Amino acid sequence: MAVAIFLAVGVAFSGWVAFGGDGDTRYRAAPLPGLDESPSPTSAPDVPSPDDLPTPGPETDGPSSAPTDVPTDLPGLPSPSATPFGTPSSPALTGGDPPAGYSTQSDPAGFHLAVPDGWLRTVEGPSVFYTSPDDSTMIQIFELHGPEATPYESAREAERLASRHRGYEQVTLAPLGTAAMDPVQLEYTYDSTSDGHRRIMDRRFAAPSGTMYAVLVIGPSGDRASEQEIHRAALDTFCPTASCIAP
């Protein structure tokens, strides 16, 4: 089962991504290679060993919401035409009916979303997880509270950290629009010692309140269509509790 860990106290939570490792049955939100996972030969030196890494937890120094003075557009962003699925638009963030085989979860962490029936909820640090019965696939949700001011900046930092992992290959890093606070899709694969080739689908976006979120699906790299479906269902129905209008 894939796991992830926190590299250092100073690393911003908005850059967290999920990685796999051996000998553990839980995922953690964290920026760098998991327990017992060897980083790629190009990894930066002096990365702390797993025994030196702190317990995952939210950052307290970063802003809790996006600033109001960010630019309305970011020149030089890659074209949103490379989106992996769906139309380049912001999530409705008001909830929606779950598709067949899914149920809407009113999560105690303060949001609603649809997850496949029978999946188990767990919490690791600041992240909420919904895991498939066979432990092969999971949804991960967490708020972004780091220094990065926009979803794109957060995704770029997550991609930078993810690229240090063994077998990393980027599939896409695409803003879903041209405004600074539009959502961003990051997708990549990497090699897990215990679970083989893994795929991460990571959408980062801002709620009307300014709070930014990441919603990830982590699973086997060969199940992309299934993982897209799970990710789409979660995103189409996601809403902060205060914004939900659907039953």
User: What is the reported pTM?
Assistant: 0.69
At 221 the three-state DSSP class reads: helix
Alpha-carbon gap, residue 40 to 92, rounded angstroms: 38
Q: Residue 165: which CATH number?
A: 3.40.1000.10
Say how many domains are in the chain.
Answer: 1
Query: Is residue 27, in this structure, part of any structural domain at all?
Result: no
Alpha-carbon gap, residue 186 to 201, rounded angstroms: 6
Query: Is residue 103, in this structure, part of any structural domain at all?
Result: yes
Query: Is residue 130, in this structure, part of any structural domain at all?
Result: yes
- Print the domain residue range for 203: 62-243
Query: Is residue 114, in this structure, part of any structural domain at all?
Result: yes
Residue 207 has which token pair?
Answer: 């709620």
Query: Is residue 204, in this structure, part of any structural domain at all?
Result: yes
Query: Is residue 29, in this structure, part of any structural domain at all?
Result: no
Alpha-carbon gap, residue 156 to 170, rounded angstroms: 12
Query: Is residue 73, in this structure, part of any structural domain at all?
Result: yes
Contact present, 126 and 142 (Cβ < 8 Å): yes
pLDDT in tens, the chain (247 residues): 443 433 333 334 444 555 433 323 333 333 333 333 444 444 433 333 333 323 233 333 333 333 333 333 333 344 433 334 433 344 567 777 899 999 999 999 999 999 999 999 999 999 999 999 999 999 999 999 989 999 999 999 999 999 999 999 999 999 999 999 999 999 999 998 888 899 999 999 999 889 999 999 999 999 999 999 999 999 999 999 988 875 5
Query: Is residue 214, in this structure, part of any structural domain at all?
Result: yes
